[in-house]
Every structure is written in C-alpha cells, then in structure tokens.
Amino acid sequence: LAELRGRTLLTREPGSALHASVERLLGIETLAGDNVIVLGETEAIKRSVEAGLGVALIQGIAVRREVEAGSLASLQLADGDDRRTYSYARQRGHTLSPAAQGLVALLTVQPL
C-alpha cells in the first residue's frame, strides 16, 4: 500500500468479492492498515468518498449515477480480467495527491 500513502482507501469487508479484487489489483495478499477503512456496503463507501473520507476502487456500474450527477469522479481501470470493470472513485474537484497519482499510474487507466 505504499502507493496509497497519505490517502485513505475505502473498501468492503474481507471475504467479499470486491475486497479480494482490490487485493488482486494492488498485488497484495492482505488489505489492511491505518489508511484502510472497511465498510459493509458499497453505498456506504460511495457516501464516504463523496464526504471526502478517502478513495475507493469499486465496480463502475456501482458509481454510474454519482458520476453522471457529478458528485464523484471516475476513471476506468483495466484489471486484466474481462469479467469485471472497476472504477477509481474520488471526490470531484480535488487534486490527487502524489501517492494517489502513483497508484493510478500503476494501473492501466482509460478516462471514461
């Protein structure tokens, strides 16, 4: 998680498909630490990102409404697995920190 230093990552609980996918995307075995907040529902993650509490890697379809409304910004990420599409969600209008920019640079990014 060195690439996320200074940023809080919001994710689902261990054992969820999303949590496992984020671990795989980041190339780590265990997603944990002081800069990780685990929430039980995707809706809670989206509201927390909107409130500026952190960033999230979640399925694009889950943030479509918020992106269209302008409350979240989204980048499509290629994860090497065509079965799912993920988006990086962040609070609109806020500049990414260098660490967050590094995370995005590690992933193949295609603007929506």
Low-confidence ranges of the chain (pLDDT < 50): 1-3, 80, 82, 110-112
Residues 15-47: tens digit of each pLDDT: 787 777 777 777 666 666 677 888 989 899 999
* Of the candidates 99, 79, 89, the residue with the CA atom closest to the CA atom of residue 26: 79
Looking at residue 78, its amino acid is: A
CATH number, domain of 42, equals 3.40.190.10
- Provide φ and ψ at 58, rounded to 5°: -140, 165
Q: Which amino acid is at 72?
A: L
Domain that holds residue 18: 2-111
How far apart, in whole angstroms, are the C-alpha atoms of residue 79 and residue 36?
20
Domain count, the chain: 1
